[in-house]
Every structure is written in C-alpha cells, then in structure tokens.
Structure 1
Amino acid sequence: MRSKRSQVQGRESGQAAVEAALTLPLLVFLLLGTLQLFMMLQGRIMAEYAAFQAVRAGSRHHGNCKPMIHAALAGLLPTVEPFLRPGGGSAARKLAEAWGSRLGPDPRNRPSPQYQPGRDMGHDGPVFWLVREYPRAGSVTDVEDINFDLPAGDGSGARRLEVRLIYWYRLRIPFADWVISRMLLAHLGLQDYNYVNPLMVTDKQAGWKKSAQPVVNLDVLVKNELQSKVLSGKYVYPIQATYGMRMMTPARREFFDQQNCDPTPEGM
C-alpha cells in the first residue's frame, strides 16, 4: 500500500508535467524567436549595405538598373546563399557558384535574383525589390545634362540617385517563422488570427486582431505581396532600406523607360 507521502509526490509530479506541457510552446518560441530576431537584425544590416552598393553602382552607370541589381545582390548574397562552408573548392569558386545559382551561368543573360523552391525551403519569387525614388522617369530626357554635377549655391541643384530596397528576407527558423508571420499580418492590419494560440495550447482563440492603425507604414503593394506569400506558406519579412547619393554620371533616358528596376512593380 502506497504511503501518503508517495501519493503527494505523485500528484506534484503530474502537476509539474502538465505545467511543463502548457508552457513548453512559449519557452520554445522564446528561444527560437530570439535566434530568428538576431538573424533578422543581420538581414537589416546587410539590406542597408546592399542599398548603398546599388546607389553607388547606379550613380556610376547613369542610373542603369542592371549594375544596381547586381551590386545589391552582391551585398545580400551572404545572407541568401551560405557559400563559405567547408569543402567544395576555393572561396572564389564557391562565390561564382552562389552567384550563378541566383542569376544563371550566362553573363549575357542574367535575370533578377530569385529564390528557388527546390533549395529555399519552398520559397520563390524575387530576393528583393529595388525602387528608384529619384530621379523620376518623366524628368530624364534624351538630352544629356552636361551640368548635372554643377549644383546651385545651396547644393539643391545636384542630381541625386535615391533608392529604396525591399529585401524579402526569408525566415529560416521553424515554428518561429510561422508565429512571427501571423503576428506580423495582424500587426500590419492585414488579417486576424483567431484559432488555437500556438504559444498557449489551452487558449482556443488567440485573438490576434488586425491593428486598426498599424505602426509600420508599408506600401499597399508590399502588404499585398507579404500577405500572399505568408498565406501560401512562404514566410518572409520585408526589410526596407533607403540610400541616396549624388550621381557621378548623368542619368540617361534609355535606362528610365520604367521607374523601378524589374521585377519591382510600378506605382511604389
């Protein structure tokens, strides 16, 4: 016959097991979510660097999108393609393979960098969007401005190239990616989440309501793209970075048939 003390210990053990089961999802999210947030911080730093590289390349090439896109990819490549793993040849060869995997092996026909469903956890679509905020396409003429680098006395007349880069950062940490994405949709006022709370399984309605006045101000096109990706199971976070620089070469009309660099949609 079990003693009274043994029965008490058994009840306490069972209570501890239940409490652990209830709090385990939250604990796991705190660990994985913290790791994911630090990785997103790295993505933010690289996005700012990529925006700088894009502007620098464009200012030297008359605002041409192609060198701008390639420069931005070069800045983001370490966060998109981990190519410096042990083995597989020299660092230069690994870099060339990583570059080719995003733009193709033929240097004469390189599209915009894309995620690849076969190797990017089911993700597809462009790695980033590149918006040319200034100069506007309508202000660039066929006549080359030979005085583009002679600003007025206050410097306001200088021709500047300003871009906004939207990096579709791929969330890599399982479970944390799903939770963060659903929270983000509610935070941005895009979609409610009223199903079982993944962080507290006893809560049958999480109650993540759409924010009436979202704190983060995103373009409608960015919001629509984000919602489309998340609802199809492609968990990304749109990291935005901007940069501006005085142009070293005059803008050419041939490079401004459209405002933004393909495949970035117009109207942003």
Structure 2
Amino acid sequence: MSSKAQALKGKSRGQAMIEFVIIIPVLLLLIFGAIQIAFVFSAKTTLNYATFQAARVGATNHATYSALRRGLIRGMAPLFTNSSSLGGMQDDIASGIDSGGTRRDAVSEVDAYTRIIRINPTSAMLDLSGFGETIDSNIAMPNDNLMYRPTWQVDGASIQDANLLKIRVQYCYKLMVPLVNKIIGSLSELNNRKAPGSYRQYHTVNDPRFADANRGEVDAAAGVTASYNELCGDRAAGNEGFVLFAEAIVRMQSPAYVQDTDDDMESFMCDGAKMVCP
C-alpha cells in the first residue's frame, strides 16, 4: 500500500472517531430520555387508575380525605411493588414505610407528593346555607331522593349535579434516569414562563413557573392548584420532580360530609395542603 493510501486511511479513521465522539452524547440522551419517558407514561397510567379508585372509594365514604387517600394509595401501590399477591404488596408497603425514606412506597408518596382537589361538590354546596343538612350529627349534603329535592342552584348547580363527585389529583413523580432527569424536570420551569395574565383563571403567582405543567391552560381550579415548589418539595430543589395530574368523576353513593369520619385524618380534610376544597 502506498504512503498516500495509508495517509488517507488514517484520516478516515480519525474522522470516524471524531464523529463517534460527537454523536455518542446525543445518542445516550435519546436512549435515556426514551427510558425516562416510558417510566413517566407508566406513572401517568397508574395515576389515572388510582384517581378513579380514589373517586370510587370517596363516593361510598362521604367524599372525605381519608377515603380519597385510601383509594389513591391502593391505586398507586403497583408503582412500588413487584409482588402479585396481596400479602406481598402489604409487605412491600410496610418495607417502604420502615425504610425511613430510602425506599419509596405508595403511602409515603401519596402523603408527601400528592394533592387532592375536590372540584365538585364545592364547599358552598355542603354548607348549611347551600344543600347541607345535619345528618348523623354531621353537616352533609343529602344523597337520597334526589329527583324529589328542591331545584334551586348553588354555584350554578342543582343538588342532583352537586352529587357528582369530581376530583383532580396532582402528583410529583420522581425522575430517576440519570442525565435526562434534570433536563425533563426543568421543563416544568420552562413551560409557564408566560405572564400570569396570559392564562385564563391563573391565580398562582408566588411561583409563576408552574400552574398545571401538563395542561398549558388552567381552568377554574387553578386558584387551588399547587405550584411546582409546593407539590414537589425537596424534589423541586434538584428539578427531579415531574408533575402529573388526573381527574375522575363518579356519582356519589353516600352523603358528602364536611368533616372527616377518621379522627386521625380530620386535620387534613380540606386543609389546603393535602386536600383542597374550592
């Protein structure tokens, strides 16, 4: 082989090495990004189911925080266990709680990184000046004989419509794939750089980076929607959280109560942090 051919071959190898060095970071980001997005999609699907579970349990248990929380934990459990049996799932949940935060579990995730918004019925509907009555020593909105109830409206809805339980759940999912987790987490900051006035019913002004990261335009519940920092807490500091939301609507099967029937959870009922009741 002539010296000229050898020189050309050497240049070709050098060019291929340079191209490889340039393309490998982009390729790694694409691969890791695809994996992380798959995890986010799985979490969103699970949250959709968990929110429906929460609404179902809440509909039969007076729409209290303890009931909604219980249903949400049940629905979120598959994200944090590999067991197929109920006993195995219970062991996984207990292991997560006992780990002191080093192992994620449905109970800790729901308690620390979710917010339940009861969109309907509103607080005005449950008030005694609305549809509220005293039932079993509790202020509640009746659920029986609805077709024979008076037809006046509160917040633009009759008592029949008020007995539709509609909830929204916000969840700060932890991004775990290295390299891309902070990039994807930062999207919540970039998503809402518009001025607050550009969003209809936008009221969250303390943290203008985020109102409802996966929706673009917020609706009437935006005034009680958690900001990125409020919801993600310690995950917000490193942009490791990605906020997901889901909604569900079911017909109430029991009177909706103003107070929680669980004494341990009463302080969280409509407290503004774990549960919001517009």
TM-score (norm 2): 0.68
Alignment-mate amino acid for residue 119 of structure 1 = R
Matches of 2:237 and 2:228, distance apart in 1: 14
8 Å Cα contact 1:142/1:252 also seen in 2: no
Matches of 1:91 and 1:16, distance apart in 2: 53
Task: Tell me the CA shift for residue 262 of structure 1.
Answer: 7.2
8 Å Cα contact 2:268/2:275 also seen in 1: no
Alignment-mate amino acid for residue 118 of structure 1 = T
Q: Does 1:148 pair with 2:143?
A: yes
8 Å Cα contact 2:185/2:239 also seen in 1: no
Alignment-mate amino acid for residue 49 of structure 2 = Y
Matches of 2:170 and 2:186, distance apart in 1: 20
Q: Does 1:5 pair with 2:16?
A: no
Task: Tell me the CA shift for residue 257 of structure 1.
Answer: 7.4
Name the SS of the counterpart of 1:143 in structure 2: strand
The 3 A distance-change label for structure 1 pair 170 and 4 is: same
Q: Does 1:186 pair with 2:190?
A: yes
Matches of 2:12 and 2:36, distance apart in 1: 35
The 3 A distance-change label for structure 1 pair 251 and 53 is: same
Task: Tell me the CA shift for residue 94 of structure 1.
Answer: 2.1
The 3 A distance-change label for structure 1 pair 267 and 137 is: closer
Matches of 1:146 and 1:267, distance apart in 2: 14
Alignment-mate amino acid for residue 18 of structure 1 = I
Matches of 1:103 and 1:263, distance apart in 2: 21
Q: Does 1:235 pair with 2:240?
A: yes
Measured against aligned partners, the alpha-carbon deviations of 1:27-73 in whole angstroms (never above 9, x if no partner) come to: 11111111221221121111111111111111111112112111111
8 Å Cα contact 1:146/1:250 also seen in 2: yes
Gaps of 5+ in 1: 85-89, 105-114, 191-209
Name the SS of the counterpart of 2:183 in structure 1: helix
8 Å Cα contact 1:55/1:161 also seen in 2: yes
- The equivalent residue for 2:26 is 26
- The equivalent residue for 1:108 is none
Matches of 2:14 and 2:233, distance apart in 1: 44
- The equivalent residue for 2:73 is 73
Task: Tell me the CA shift for residue 117 of structure 1.
Answer: 4.1
Matches of 1:7 and 1:18, distance apart in 2: 17
The 3 A distance-change label for structure 1 pair 129 and 13 is: same
Q: Which has the higher helix share?
A: 2
Q: Does 1:82 pair with 2:86?
A: no
Matches of 2:96 and 2:133, distance apart in 1: 33
Residue correspondence of structure 1 range 1-268 to structure 2 within 5 A: 3-79=3-79, 81-84=80-83, 91-101=85-95, 117-120=101-104, 126-140=112-126, 141=132, 143-144=134-135, 147-152=142-147, 156-158=158-160, 159-189=163-193, 216-217=216-217, 219=222, 221-225=226-230, 229=234, 231-233=236-238, 235-255=240-260, 260=270, 263-264=273-274, 266=276
Matches of 1:127 and 1:116, distance apart in 2: 16
The 3 A distance-change label for structure 1 pair 253 and 260 is: closer
Matches of 1:170 and 1:49, distance apart in 2: 18
Alignment-mate amino acid for residue 96 of structure 1 = Q
8 Å Cα contact 1:62/1:252 also seen in 2: yes
TM-score (norm 1): 0.70
Measured against aligned partners, the alpha-carbon deviations of 1:83-135 in whole angstroms (never above 9, x if no partner) come to: 32xxxxx833321122324567xxxxxxxxxx964235xx9871422111122
Gaps of 5+ in 2: 127-131, 152-156, 195-208, 261-265
Measured against aligned partners, the alpha-carbon deviations of 1:126-170 in whole angstroms (never above 9, x if no partner) come to: 142211112223432451368524345999532121111112212
The 3 A distance-change label for structure 1 pair 226 and 246 is: closer
- The equivalent residue for 2:199 is none
